[in-house]
Structure 1
Amino acid sequence: MFPRKQLTMAFNNSTVNFEYENSSSEVCEMVVVMETFEIYSCILIFILSIIGNFLLLYVLFLYENLKNVTNLFVLNLACSDLMMTVTLPFWAVYQLQDWVFGDFACTFVIVTKIVGLYSSVILLTAMTVDRFITVVLHNMPINKVRRQRFAALSCAAAWIISISVSIHVATRVTVKDWGGRSMCLSNVDFAFNLAVSLLFVFLLAIIVFCYSAILKTVLQASNRRKRRTVVVVLCIVAAFIICRVPYNIFFIIRSFYEPKNCYASKREIIAFIICNVLAYSHCCMNPILYMLSEKWRKHLLDLFSCKKVRRVRDRKRTTGSSVKQNVAFKAQSSAVVLEPTCS
């Protein structure tokens, strides 16, 4: 028999407290196994996300036109994923021991995670609306400049809203001694959690509606290229739903539900860890999903085979030779014009 024990889990902008009477070692063993799984998952996701997203950004800057609307959304989504990724080492160490990084690091980690989390939701919604306009409403006259302006304003709004949310949370972040452990906590009230959850549900409803209409339109079309493009974006949205929806549903349910016994507490701990790992795994999903696109695969192959460098050199040589030929041709033309005529 184990003595009475309080298990406290602090993550992001909330704290989960479980107090129960352990009747066997099975509960503790399961919790330890899940915490170990979470630590190794954080390390793996961190490595994959850093490599994948930096590679994605490098390919974007090297090969793509950043004024393109889709590329602009991809760029901002990669930045959102990286913001969440940089917090992973802190949480991995935190699972092994107390919070040892101090007050400033506690605030920085929680704020960075929240900015990355909510900016990605808003950006993905805007990206879906843009796809809806171009695919479903393709008969409408769409101004390219207006579309670019919409994308830029959407990206700006995503960062402003997510930063505003993080500032509200940052004022409630503290490092406390809780049950003999130093904990990084953020005491956010119920109303705030409910408002953020409702915002997520609203944005998710927009995404589902838009892609239902997009799928219906694409399945009726015969343009294979358009189908491939939409499939890639659809996979990105599906990955988002699979990874992020369980995490937000968990916090919505937990706002109204409190475990009453040991078995319920055990299930809540396991559900929390699974949802947490799923939410973080989304950080490395987008670079993998972009490889479904033939264009992105070609860019990646060109990058590793240094074809871009060769292309640039060839372009310079071609440009240089063209300039020389034009100069020579103009010189010859001038000579002909200036040559005196015989009477």
Structure 2
Amino acid sequence: MSDYRLSDHVEFLCETDFPNITGPLFILIFILSVIGNSLLLCVLFIYEKLNTMTNIFILNLVCSDLIFTITLPFWAVDHLHHWVFGDFACKFMTAAFFVGLYSSVILLTAMTVDRFITVVLHNRLSNHAIRQKSGVGACIAAWVISILASLSDAMIVKVVDWENVTYCEPEFDDKLGHYLQVSLLFFLPLAIIIFCYSAILKTVLRALNRKKHRAVAVLLCIVAVFFICWGPYHIVLLIKSLYEPIGCKAEEQLAVAYHICEMLAYSHCCMNSLLYMISQDSQKHLLNLLCCEKLCRKNRKKDTSQKTFVIQNVAFTAESSVVKSN
């Protein structure tokens, strides 16, 4: 895999030894994400109540993950064979990528603030209807902000021909400004989430409600996994914007770090469905969903017939005993 860098109109070619596993890994993540998030969507619509704010936020997060997921096969082909889909697809997939990324972090922040209001400020803001309307409004705002922010990212990318090979690459007029926009929609929500969960954990640890403990724990896991997956990626982006590597060795090390963080970040889209299945209720719903309906009905009929047969036998035995005693 090669990494090109132009400086003072002189062309440099630095070879990196990083194995080209990115494309196949993106395909694997795509398959896992489609299966996991599709199952989670079915569980939410069939078994869960969508009148709770937590489930509404999770539904939006699933949609966000699926939007991000649809871009992965395109980036996989780009890594394996370079960009072959044209300029429109380059811009559209870039926009979809950032819509998925931005909406995830904004929705997670809104979900955390909602949990903060519910747990910490429940005595002051006890009106459930107002909170629910605010939560739905936050979801709508998350999508609007994500779409608007992604448009600027889509406008700076285009298909570039380099030695008869095409790439979908950004043309940075303001490289630092672009990375700051990406990071602002990551580190600012991170600060808000840390503040909210610090207060939430203090309140929950004082309470004796185990059910509330479990609910907060699941949401905390979802948030923590997001920042564990995406944190290193954004840190490397900032380093790339602020630091110009000198020599091929430094450039190779930065490229390898970027690829590792990129794979970790992209794998997040299949994590939420796994984390959601931590709860016992979700596991039961998933088993019910995976169980073939015909088989379930057959087993229910079999159980019913067996119970009827047993009841009839017991009744017959009791009746015979009464006759004999008489």
Tell me the TM-score range normalised by the shorter chain: 0.7 to 0.9
How many angstroms does 1:64 deviate by? 1.5
Report deviation, 1:89.
0.7
Q: Is the 8 A contact 1:98 1:182 kept in 2?
A: yes
Q: 1:230 aligns with which of 209, 212, 216?
A: 216
Corresponding residue for 1:294? 280
Correspondence list, 1:132-143, <5 A: 132-143=116-127
Question: Where does residue 213 of structure 1 map in the other structure?
Answer: 199
Query: Pairwise mapping of residues 1-343 of structure 1 onto structure 2 (< 5 A)?
Result: 7-8=3-4, 28=16, 30-31=17-18, 33=19, 35-36=20-21, 38-188=22-172, 189=174, 190-305=176-291
Q: Distance in 1 between matches of 2:177 and 2:291?
A: 54
Unaligned runs of 5+ in 2: 6-10, 302-326
Verify the 8 A CA contact 2:117 2:125 in the aligned structure 1.
no
**8 Å contact from structure 1 (residues 173, 184) kept in 2:** yes
8 Å CA contact 1:6–1:20 kept in 2: the answer is no
Instruction: Give, as a single letter, the amino acid of the residue that structure 1 aligns with 2:142.
Output: A
Q: TM-score, normalised by structure 1?
A: 0.80
Letter in 1 for 2:144: I
Change over 3 Å in CA distance of 1:53–1:21 after alignment to 2:
closer
Structure 1 residue 205, shift from structure 2 partner:
0.2
Closer/same/farther in 2, CA of residues 8 and 63 from structure 1, 3 Å limit? farther
Using the TM superposition, give the Cα deviation of residue 261 of structure 1 relative to its aligned residue in structure 2, in angstroms: 1.6
Superimposed CA distance per residue, residues 155-213 of structure 1 (whole angstroms, 9 cap, x where no aligned partner): 11111111001112222221111244211112242323313322321111001111112
Aligned-residue offset at 1:95: 1.1
Question: Identity percentage over the alignment?
Answer: 56
Q: In structure 1, the residue corresponding to 2:158 is in which secondary structure? A: strand
Q: Distance in 1 between matches of 2:163 and 2:237?
A: 23
| Alignment partners' CA distance in 2, 1:274 and 1:306 | 40
Shift of 1:21: 6.5
Letter aligned with residue 208 of structure 2 = S
Partner of 1:332: none
The code of the aligned residue for 1:304 comes to L
What one-letter code is carried by the residue in structure 2 that aligns with 1:175?
A: V
Q: CA RMSD in A?
A: 2.4
Give a deviation string over 1:234-275, Cα, whole Å, max 9, x none.
110110111011111111121111111222111111111111
Q: Contact between 2:102 and 2:185, CA under 8 Å: does it hold in 1?
A: no
Q: Deviations over 1:118-156 (max 9, x none)?
A: 010000000011111111223324211111111111111
1:302/1:222 CA distance change after superposition, 3 Å: same
Distance 1:201 1:228 in 2: 27
**Scaled by the length of structure 2, what TM-score is found?**
0.84
Alpha-carbon separation, structure 1, partners of 2:28 and 2:182: 29
Task: Give the whole-Å Cα distance in 2 for the aligned partners of 1:120 and 1:46.
Answer: 17
Structure 1: state its 5+ residue gaps: 10-18, 315-343
Segment of structure 1 superposing worse, 229-238 or 215-224: 215-224
How many pairs does the alignment contain?
292
> In 2, are the aligned partners of 1:6 and 1:179 still within 8 Å (CA)?
no
Shift of 1:307: 7.2
Aligned-partner SS, 2:278: coil
Amino acid in the other structure paired with 1:41 = L
- Give the whole-Å Cα distance in 2 for the aligned partners of 1:66 and 1:196: 31
Q: Is the 8 A contact 1:77 1:123 kept in 2?
A: yes
C-alpha distance in 2 between matches for 1:57 and 1:139: 33
- Of the structure 1 ranges 211-220 and 71-80, higher mean CA displacement relative to structure 2 is found in 211-220
- One-letter amino acid of the counterpart of residue 78, structure 1: V
How far, CA to CA, are the matches of 1:95 and 1:21 in structure 2?
A: 18
Shift of 1:40: 2.4
1:56 corresponds to which letter in structure 2?
L
